[in-house]
A = this chain, B = another copy of it.
Amino acid sequence: MVLHGYWRSSAAYRVRIALNLKQLSYHQVSYHLRDGAQRHPEFLARNPQGLVPALEVDNGKFLTQSLAIIEYLEATYPAAPLLPASDLAKARVRSIALAIACDLHPLNNLRVLNFIGTRYGQNDAGKTTWYQHWVRCELDALEDRLSRDEETGKFCHGNSVTLADICLIPQLYNARRWNCDISAYQTLLRIESSCLSLDAFSKAAPECQPDSE
C-alpha cells in the first residue's frame, strides 16, 4: 500500500497510526503542503479535493478521507479491531472521532488559516487566536464528555485503542504546536499517555516520518 500524505498532516497521522496498529506495511509519498504539492494536476486527477491523505491499496484503487480509509482497513483487516463490538459502542467511538474530524480539524486546516490571513488580514498572532479558539471549544467539550462517561477507560473507549484515540492524538499534537493550553484536559492527557506508550502511535508521530524537516 502507498500512503500519500505529509508528515505534519494530522489526517495522514491518523492513517499512519491505524496502519501501524493493524501491522500493515506501506510506502509513503510526501506532498509538501505549504508548497501546494497536493494541488498539482497529477494529484488532482486522482483526488479532486486536493487534500491528503490518500491510500493507494493493492488493487490500484485510490482511497481518500482518513476516516473512510480507516473504516476500509478495519473491514479488510479485522485483526486488532479499531471499533468495539456493539453498535451502541461503535456509535460512541465514531461520535468522538467525528467531533474531532468534522468540528475541529477542518476549521484549523492550512487552507482556512491562509484564507483568514489573506482576506481578513490576520497575521500569525491572529491565526493563533483563531486556532486556539476552536481547539478550546471542542477540547473543552471532549474533556467534559470523557471525564463523565462511564465508558471511558484507559483509552477513549474502555481499555482498547479505537478510532477515537486515533483522532485524538494528532489533535493534541497540533494543539501543542499552536501553543494551546491543554493542561486542564486531565482525561485527554491521561489517554494520550496510554496511547503514546504504544509503538503504533509513537512510530506514527510526525517527527518520525521520512519527510520530516
Contacts and interface: CB of A to CB of B under 8 A. Distances in A.
Contacts of A95: 63-65, 68-69
Nearest to A76: B87
A48 interface: yes
B141 A48 contact: yes
A103 interface: yes
A48 B144 contact: yes
A63, A64, A95, A138: which has the most chain B beta carbons within 10 Å? Answer: A95
A116 B116 CA distance: 9
Contacts of A112: 107
Contact of A71 (B57, B65, B90, B116): B90
A115 interface: yes
Interface residues of A, number: 50
A141 B102 contact: no
Contacts of A129: 119
Interface string A94-120: 110111011101110001100110011
Most buried by B among A49, A76, A88: A49
A51 interface: yes
A79 interface: no
A204 to B, nearest CB: 20
7 contacts: A48-B142, A49-B145, A63-B91, A65-B95, A72-B91, A75-B87, A98-B101
Given A72-B88, A98-B101, 6 more contacts: A59-B88, A65-B98, A69-B95, A101-B102, A107-B112, A116-B120
